[in-house]
Amino acid sequence: MNGTWGWPLLLAALSLGGLAAGILGDGVWDWLCWVGLAAPVVVVVRRMRDQWHGPDERSNQNS
């Protein structure tokens, strides 16, 4: 795993786990499903919120 694939692979694993958990049962399984599939949405929202202001500075640092 390198810097490029670290986050995507983590989100992929959480998504896959979430998709599977919901079908395996109810109760705690449903919660695992919601957490797993909420992860990509949360990451997208946080990345957008964090970078909405001062994008130039961030991109200069990272490019």
Partner 1 sequence: MRAPVLRGWYAVHRWSSLICTINLLILCLTGLLLVFHDEIDAALGQDHRPVAAVVGNAAKPSLQTLVDSAVQGDAQHTVQSMFFPPDEPSLVAMHLGERGSASLRGGKNIIFNMDNGMRQALPVNVETVTGFLLKLHVNLFLGLPGQLFIGLVGLIFVLSIVSGIVIYAPLTRKLVFGILRFGRQARIVQADLHNLFAVTTMVWALVVGLTGTFLAFSPLIIGLWQKTELADIIRTLPAAKPHSMVPVDQAIAQARLRAPGKDLAYVFYPGTEYATQRHYMVVQRGHSELEQRLFSIVVVDAQDGTVADARGMPWYMQALLLSGPFHFGDYAGLPLKILWAMLTLLTATVTVSGFIVWMKRTRAVVVRRNEATLADGWGGQT
Query: Which tokens sit at 51?
Result: 């970078």
The residues in 24-63 that bind partner 1, with binding defined as CB under 8 A, are 24-26, 29-30, 33-34, 37-38, 40-41, 43-44, 47-48, 51-52, 55-56, 58-59, 62-63
**DSSP-derived secondary structure letter, 48:** H
CA distance 37 to 25: 16
- Which of 7, 12, 36, 11 lies closest to 22, judged by CA? 36
CB of 13 to partner 1, least distance (A): 8
The residues in 8-27 that bind partner 1, with binding defined as CB under 8 A, are 8, 11-12, 15-16, 19, 22-26
